[in-house]
Structure 1
């Protein structure tokens, strides 16, 4: 595998320079370790996906009788890498996207592809636009470019590892390599390239809690298709890992796959934005959220390489990310209160709040009884412990209330 990957890496230098492997002082101090970040968010399309797409095109176009028109289905990083490479090679491409794709992603794909790429919006869901892309390929003879489940795509993603080896320098190997997993192309490529340098037990894979296709497949001893997927971590929200990728990763233990809640990922995104000024998409923050879950106890004194897979973040999502981060950190809670319908009842309630408690939302829901009314209230505070004092104050006042912060059904309907 190595000679082919090294050749792919060298060919990539005609497209863009290697992405940096940076020692992050902030995280290194926090975890008392050497934390290196492989910054795939600094590629021309702000994700590693350009690598696999470039390698796929490079090999196909080297064939004298190969196709000269291409198609893909994607609403994210694969579409942008595909478009960039189409323009680089001067070939025609069509990108199928769901109608619901954010305009920012459509505009960036169009910008990268220029006159060489056409965008077609089909269906409300990915499966519909994927089928439309397949139909287009069948009708026109265009070649479908898969997002992750292809040997040439895997080989292209493996160039991440080839760069890491040279950037760390001779004789240096990481104690831990942390990799995000969606379809598995990046993880399959990196582990395959590093298998002689890094023991299998030194890899840690990260998946969103709502899209645990690799972990469930390893637990099952065979491929599993998830019935439901949480799409918040959209760059890794895959219901079924690639067949080739699972074959490459099946030698690892399910215990080496860490599941991270979508809200925990948000905490990492906000931290990196506020402290380091680094903009990460949810999938790009997975490996760093894993470091937080491990903590200094498990990282102290180690050399760690964490792959930051992408930074294509739509800032229209920032309020939702901040909301999720605060709830996960215990700094924001939502309550439904039952207050007496009498003058001064609201003032009495406000007097129960502490000096650092701030009302972020207040909404009268309905009159639940003749003498009582229900209120939805959101409260933010500075440290989680303040909510313990607030609960004691509520109880002492005989206030009837329900904490709905972690009730997903109510939170999605009301909040």
Structure 2
């Protein structure tokens, strides 16, 4: 047995003093849909509802003489570090952006109690990170990276140790979300060539794919933070050293709007609450399709820290992706009966979800922002045909990100 594998097993054994192994549960619904033996590794059921406490545990376990741990995080890593500071009786200072939702700040404080101090600094994470590292250097603490740390990578590999024990063998196919690469690097280092892998990233934060194309870690020009648990601007140097040979063919990028359809399905059909990053591996099954038929497949659901205040946004994005909700700007003739004419174009299953009309008396036409929901995307083709036939001018702005930010 190689040294990494042995150390991961030792880490997993030590963790049992703190929290039980997370469940590996067969999912009948997904198994039937994809014709495979599909299992979910439920990291969303850990004490902090993500796998991040594993790496924090292992790093603190291996540095027993360090009195102060410092990290920068706006989410799961902060909660994992806080939980373990309290467990080990260590002092922790956790830096979070000023813009961090209050719910995440409160949960971090709840897990850490008197063992931690939370400092809100910077509007953007880069500013927060810089402040944390400067403080750590001055205070002589141990900076705990969320992913780019050998002890953290080793700790995250405990997920693989548990899967092997629970399944009785390595899976045929392992589907893993990738953010900074800590979990995927640990899992790959543990299982090696024993299974096939699919590494999944959000389209707005595909830093592994960018690194594979460049041959080195590169900073993304822009990051979409919707799937915040995996939206990382640059993959870690240590993690990429372990992932550099995976090949582009084994990576997938998932549109954030499509991810919303899976979040809702898992909630409504399975009763499983997943954060966007936690749903990545399940959503990837749509692309894997028949390639996993007849195989034993494990999807790691990495987190369930979902703020239900985001649910309306998730529903909105899912409807738009599915093609059953559209927004457009309509030029309405300013004559009596024009609105009635338009309403007559709607089908029996078309529902007006938004309507804003600004009448300007000096003009012959007024602009209307309108949102319509329907049951079948084909209904929009019929509607647009009627509008064209009757000379109504309109612009579909559903997928216009700039306009959507202001009007939707």
- TM bracket, shorter-chain basis: over 0.9
Gaps of 5+ in 1: none
1:376-387 equivalences in 2 (<5 Å): 376-387=369-380
Cα separation, partners in 2 of 1:335 and 1:13, compared to 1, 3 Å: same
Partner of 1:192: 189
Does structure 2 retain, via aligned residues, the 8 Å contact 1:40–1:47? Answer: yes
Which digits, 9 at most, give the CA deviation of each residue in 1:264-307, with x for residues without a partner? 11111011111111111010011111012333x33322211111
Q: Write the mapping of 1:394-413 to structure 2, written as runs, cut at 5 A.
A: 394-413=387-406
**TM-score (ref. length: structure 1):** 0.95
SS at match of 1:362: strand
Aligned with 1:5 (options 5, 8, 21): 8
Aligned to 1:253: 247
1:134 aligns with 2:156: no
Shift of 1:108: 0.3
Structure 1 runs of 4+ aligned residues shifted over 3 Å read: 365-369
Residue 171 of structure 2 is matched in structure 1 by 174
Change (3 A) 1:366 1:298: farther
| CA contact 1:47–1:311 (8 Å) conserved in 2 | yes
Q: What is the root-mean-square deviation in Å for CA atoms of aligned residues? A: 1.3
Corresponding residue of 2:330: 337
Distance across 1 between alignment mates of 2:358 and 2:282? 39
Aligned residues of 1:365 and 1:375 also touching (Cα < 8 A) = yes
Name the structure 2 match of 1:375: 368
Paired positions, count:
405
| SS of aligned partner of 1:135 | helix
Retained in 1: the 8 A contact 2:163–2:170?
Answer: no
Residue 35 of structure 2 corresponds to which residue in structure 1?
32
Pairing of 1:282-297 with structure 2 (within 5 A) = 282-295=276-289, 297=290
The offset of 1:365, in angstroms, is: 4.6
Q: Describe the superposition over 1:174-226 as per-residue Cα deviations: whole angstroms up to 9, x where unpaired.
A: 2211000000000000011001522xxx1000001111110011112222111
Provide the secondary structure at the position in 1 that maps to 2:39.
strand
Whether contact under 8 Å (2:71, 2:132) holds in the other structure is: yes
Q: SS of the counterpart of 2:66?
A: coil
Q: Which runs of 5+ in 2 are unaligned?
A: none
Report which stretch shifted further, 385-394 or 92-101: 385-394
Cα offsets for 1:221-240 (capped at 9, x unmatched): 22211111111110011111
